[in-house]
Amino acid sequence: MKFIAIYVLFLASTGLAFAADIEGGKKLAAERNCASCHGPDYYTSILPTYPRLAGQHEDYLYYALRSYQVETNANYGRKNAVMGSQAKGLTDKQMRNLAAYLASLPGPLVVRK
């Protein structure tokens, strides 16, 4: 019984360790001032060419940030002067947290949640 309890605790802690941190993403987005372009609600962006992020799929947001980092990769790189500099230097964990936070926000981009 004791071993089962320890095992369950172990599973719970590893699960938490790998889960994206929405609060961490929120904090980082505020520090980096992502809202200055994407809008305070991440939906009302300041220009039509600045994409809406609120409620977008988490995996898509993560993939997009990653793509800006590997901009010259012919297969999945995404070259954009503005976002290239924004994404530069973000760690994998930071990008996952940002994606989790932005995906958690209310927005009409997802059909069903």
What is the contact surface with ligand HEC in residues (CB under 6 A)?
Answer: 29, 32-34, 36-38, 49-51, 53, 61, 64-65, 78, 80, 82-83, 86, 98
Within a 10 A sphere around the Cβ of 7, how many other Cβ atoms?
10
CB of 16 to ligand HEC, least distance (A): 23
Q: Of 8 and 46, which has the nearer Cβ to ligand HEC?
A: 46
For the stretch 14-41, what's the b/e string if a residue is b when 16 or more beta carbons lie within 10 angstroms of its beta carbon? eeeeeebbbebbbebbeeeebbebbbee
Residue with smaller CB distance to ligand HEC, 9 or 110: 110
Least gap, CB of 13 to ligand HEC (angstroms): 28
- Separation between Cα atoms, residue 24 and residue 26, nearest integer Å: 5
Q: Write phi, then psi, for 108 (nearest 5 degrees).
A: -90, 10
**Least distance between ligand HEC and beta carbon 18 (Å):** 20
Q: CB 60 → ligand HEC: shortest distance, Å? A: 7
